[in-house]
């Protein structure tokens, strides 16, 4: 700064400082101006994100509500269109409108085995029209299609009818669970297992249900009993077996009569026979006089031969020998309800309810024979041939219920192990087993019999049977969501 006075230098420095200060102030103003210019865009981006989140949330709620509405409509296939519409709207109201405060536009269509529900709504934007080209609302929609009855279904109800089922209202509550009433008085129930399964069917023969009541034995349908009562028997020689299930005294003859898959053999123990033979000789418990004859037979059958593993199977050789046949014996009590073969639930639900109505607690427990005859109902070979063949596209279920431990069979040796073997055989044949324990019984055995832990149910109060059976019915008749 040569040539300038001190005063001139001071004035120049002060001027430069003021100019630099003004520049700094102008820079802050420019940034503020730029921020003010960009603020709407930033806010727009923020609100777009919020709008997107709200739209996504409401879309999820709407889809869930539509799914629930479609399922409810599918389970009510007998409703009229106005009833279906009211049901769907009620579901959407409860699961969507009550959550977001808006009522969507809902419609449905239904045809053979299909219900389709669609819904649409508009979600208000937080800051409408700001940097948004498509207006002040976000359009959302949802649709759900329910198909039911994808496969045919066969169900065997294998139910304990022993004397202990009279305690703690077990038989009463079992009937209520199945028929909707404690006495199965009405053949047109408003709830219960039979009602739910019937409603799940949208065509004949889609759901077929049979019944196997059991105590120590099972009892054939009346028409089969009457056929045997009047049939011409074939004489046969029964081999002299050994074991707990047979009469082995030397004075017992090896005679037998046979008809189709039944045998009447003196060597088979009979729960109602006395200990004496025709000459008064004590021949052992379950042996001697008082044995069943074809003409007086009341339809009861005991286990087949354990040594051949026939007691845990429904297998029937194409040319069976006498030892392979089912032992026909006197009924210990005629209170035992009869087996009811598989039949269409839509056209024959009344007959099933009538069969359930007469179930009466009596006798001791043989779970194995119940499982074996449950298999027989679900098999296409004799004794019963109503079921689909094993390789067909048919879902097969056995619902096994008992309240007690195994206590008696024709041969009670290793009865729990034999029962588990029967369950294992059934599952190997593609049968899904639900096992239900009512207050008492062998929990380990039943849980192992069941197809999985979720298929095992245990109730400590008989009144809980109804929700259990209704849940099983809904699982078996489950609808499938497909979009």
Q: Interior CA angle at 441 toward 383 and 360, to 5°? A: 55
Average pLDDT over every residue of 360-371:
96
Distance, CA of 13 to CA of 19 (rounded, Å): 10
Q: What percent of the chain has pLDDT over 70?
A: 84
Q: What is the mean pLDDT of the chain?
A: 86
CB 155 within 8 A of CB 197: yes
What are the strands of the beta sheet with 114-124, ordered from one edge?
Answer: 105-111, 114-124, 137-147, 480-482
Which residues pair with residue 344 across a beta bridge?
A: 208
Band of the pLDDT at 148, cuts 50, 70, 90?
Answer: low
pLDDT at 124: 85
CB 366 within 8 A of CB 158: no
Q: How many other C-beta atoms can be found within 10 angstroms of the C-beta atom of residue 78?
A: 10
Distance, CA of 465 to CA of 169 (rounded, Å): 11
Q: What percent of the chain has pLDDT over 90?
A: 60
DSSP string, 357-378: HT----S---HHHHHHHHHHHT
pLDDT at 146: 82
Question: Of the ranges 12-26, 267-281, 311-325, 328-342, which one carries the lowest mean pLDDT score?
Answer: 12-26
For 9, the 3-state DSSP assignment is helix
Residue 132: pLDDT over 70: no
Distance, CA of 89 to CA of 144 (rounded, Å): 14
Cα dist. 104→56, 97, 100, 128 in Å?
15, 8, 10, 20
Band of the pLDDT at 30, cuts 50, 70, 90?
Answer: low
**Which residues have CB under 8 Å from 454's CB, separation 6+?**
none
Q: How many other C-beta atoms can be found within 10 angstroms of the C-beta atom of residue 420?
A: 21
pLDDT at 1: 41
Question: Of the ranges 176-180, 383-387, 396-400, 429-433, which one carries the lowest mean pLDDT score?
Answer: 383-387
Band of the pLDDT at 7, cuts 50, 70, 90?
Answer: very low
pLDDT at 11: 44
pLDDT at 5: 46
Band of the pLDDT at 13, cuts 50, 70, 90?
Answer: very low
Average pLDDT over every residue of 195-203:
87
- Residue-wise pLDDT tens digits, 260-311: 999 999 999 998 999 998 888 999 989 998 889 999 999 999 999 887 788 9
Average pLDDT over every residue of 112-135:
73
38 versus 11: the higher-pLDDT residue is: 38
pLDDT at 338: 98
Task: State how far Cα 168 lies from the chain centre.
Answer: 25
- Residue-wise pLDDT tens digits, 40-53: 555 555 555 566 67
Average pLDDT over every residue of 101-129:
84
Highest mean predicted confidence (pLDDT) among 145-149, 321-325, 407-411, 462-466: 462-466
pLDDT at 215: 97
pLDDT at 14: 54
């Amino acid at each position: 700064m040569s040539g300038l006075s001190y005063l001139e230098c001071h004035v120049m420095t002060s001027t430069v400082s003021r100019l630099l200060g003004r520049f700094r102030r102008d820079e802050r103003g420019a940034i503020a101006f730029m921020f003010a210019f960009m603020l709407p865009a930033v806010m727009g981006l923020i609100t777009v994100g919020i709008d997107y989140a709200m739209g996504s949330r409401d879309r999820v709620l709407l889809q869930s509500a539509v799914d629930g509405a479609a399922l409810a409509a599918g389970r009510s296939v007998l409703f009229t269109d106005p009833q279906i519409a009211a049901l769907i709207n009620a579901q959407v109201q409860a699961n969507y409108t009550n959550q977001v405060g808006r009522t969507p536009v809902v419609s449905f269509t239904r045809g053979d085995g299909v219900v389709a529900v669609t819904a649409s709504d508009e979600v208000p934007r937080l800051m409408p029209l700001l940097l948004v080209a498509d207006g002040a609302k976000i359009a959302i929609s949802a649709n759900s299609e329910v198909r039911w009855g994808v496969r045919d279904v066969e169900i065997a109800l294998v139910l304990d009818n022993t004397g202990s089922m009279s305690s703690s209202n077990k038989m009463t509550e079992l009937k209520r669970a199945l028929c909707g009433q404690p006495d199965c008085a009405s053949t047109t129930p408003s709830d219960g297992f039979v009602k739910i399964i019937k409603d799940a069917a949208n065509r004949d023969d889609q759901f077929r249900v049979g019944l196997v009541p059991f105590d120590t034995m099972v009892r054939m349908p009346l028409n089969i009993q009457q056929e045997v009562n009047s049939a011409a028997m074939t004489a046969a020689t029964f081999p002299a077996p050994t074991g707990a299930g047979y009469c082995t005294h030397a004075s017992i003859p090896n005679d037998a009569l046979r008809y189709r898959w039944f045998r009447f053999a003196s060597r088979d123990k009979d729960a109602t026979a006395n200990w004496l033979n025709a000459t008064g000789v004590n021949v052992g418990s379950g042996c001697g006089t008082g044995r069943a004859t074809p003409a007086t037979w009341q339809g009861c059958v005991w286990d087949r031969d354990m040594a051949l593993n026939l007691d845990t199977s429904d297998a029937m050789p194409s040319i069976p020998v006498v030892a392979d046949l089912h032992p026909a014996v006197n009924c210990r009590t005629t209170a035992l309800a009869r087996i009811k073969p598989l039949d269409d639930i839509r056209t024959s639900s009344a007959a099933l309810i009538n069969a359930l109505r007469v179930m009466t607690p009596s006798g001791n427990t043989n779970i194995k024979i119940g499982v074996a005859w449950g298999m027989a109902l679900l098999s296409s070979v004799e004794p019963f041939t109503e079921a689909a063949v094993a390789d067909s596209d048919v879902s097969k279920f056995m619902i096994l219920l008992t309240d007690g431990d195994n206590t008696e069979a024709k041969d009670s040796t290793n009865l729990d192990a034999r029962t588990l073997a029967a369950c294992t055989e059934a599952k190997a044949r593609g049968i899904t087993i639900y096992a239900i324990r009512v207050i008492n019984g062998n929990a380990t055995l039943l849980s192992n019999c069941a197809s999985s832990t979720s298929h095992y149910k245990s109730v400590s109060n008989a009144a809980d049977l109804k929700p259990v059976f209704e849940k099983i019915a809904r699982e078996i008749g489950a609808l499938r969501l497909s979009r």
